[in-house]
Amino acid sequence: MINLNKAKEEFEKYVKPYGIENVKICRKIEHSYRVIEVAEEIAKSLNLEKEDLELAKLIGLLHDIGRFEQIRIYDTFSDKDSIDHANLGVEILFKDGLIRKFIEDDKYDELIYKAIKNHNKYSIEDGLDKREKLHAKIIRDADKTDIYEVYIRDIESNENAIFNYDNIAREKIAEKVIESVKKHELVDRYDTVNEADRYVAALAFIFDFNFDKGLEIVKERQYISKLINRVKSESNEKEMNIIEKNILGYFKGRNI
C-alpha cells in the first residue's frame, strides 16, 4: 500500500530545514508536486492499475530529492558543475533507509531506485525489467514536461531568473547542438558550451518523450514557441527558426 498523503507530509518535513522561503528551494518543491500530477496524467493515459498509478506519483514526489542537498552543498543546480542530483537522490533515500518514511513496504525499492536514478540521464541504462522501465519512462516524461512549466514561469516572473535571456539571445549556439536538434536527438550536456546551448538542450528534451501524454501537454500549452520567442534575436533568428521548425515538425511526425 502506498500512502501518498503520508509521503507528502514526510516530504514537507524533509525539505523544511532547507528553507522553503528560499526561491530556489521553493521552485523545486513546487516542481516536485506538479510532477506528481503530470505522472498521474501519463499513468492514466496508459490505463495503469491503481498500484502503478500510486507508484508513479510517489516517484514523482521523490525524483528530485537530491536537489536539496545539491544546492546546500554546492550552491548550484548544475549537475555538470557539481554532482549528478539523481545519483545523490538515491543515495539519500536508500543509504540510511530514509525511503521507509515515504513507503513502508520495501518491495518497490529497486524499482523506485532505478526510476529515480535514471530520470535525468541521457538514456535509461540497460538491465531494467519491464515494470522498472515503465516507471523510469513515466518519470522522465513527467519531469521534462514540467521543466517547461518551470521555464515559462521563470519568463513570466522575471525575478530570480533561471536563465539570463539577454545573454542567450546574444550567444552563438554550438554547431553540435543544432546538429542534434536536426537529427531529433537529445543534446549531450557535454556538447553544451554556453547558456544558449543549455537552453536549446532543454528544448530538445522534446525528442526524448516516451509517451504521447507529456508531448500533448507541451503542445497544448505552447511551451516551445513561447520559450523560443523569448530568446529570438537578430543574431540567432536563423538558428532559432531551424530549431523551432524541427521541434514543431517532430510533433507532427508523432501525430501530436
CB of 47: closest distance to Fe ion in angstroms?
26
CA angle 55, 142, 57 (to 5 degrees): 20
- Cell 540567432 -> residue: 236
Q: At closest approach, how far in Å is the CB of 68 from Fe ion?
A: 12
Q: Give the nearest distance from C-beta 66 to Fe ion in angstroms.
A: 8
Nearer to Fe ion, 117 or 232 (CB): 117
From the DSSP assignment, how many helices (H) and strands (E) are in the chain? 14, 0
The window from 63-71, 95-103, 123-131, 160-168 that contacts Fe ion (CB under 5 A) reads 63-71
**Contact call for residues 164 and 238 (beta carbons, < 8 A):** no
Letters for 84-123 (x = contact with Fe ion by CB under 5 A, - = none) are ------------------------------------x---
**Which of these ranges, 59-67, 101-109, 155-163, 206-214, lies near Fe ion under the rule CB under 5 A?**
59-67
Contact 227, 152 (CB under 8 A): yes
Contact status: 40 vs Fe ion (CB under 5 A): no
Q: Does 141 bind Fe ion (CB under 5 A)?
A: no
In the complex, what is the shortest distance from the CB of residue 146 to Fe ion, in angstroms, rounded to a whole number?
10
Q: Which amino acid is at 187?
A: V
Q: Is 146 in the site for Fe ion (CB under 5 A)?
A: no
DSSP string, 38-103: HHHHHHHHTT--HHHHHHHHHHHHHTTTHHHHHHHHHS---TTTS--HHHHHHHHHHSSSTHHHH-
Under the rule (CB under 5 A), what is the footprint of Fe ion? 64, 120
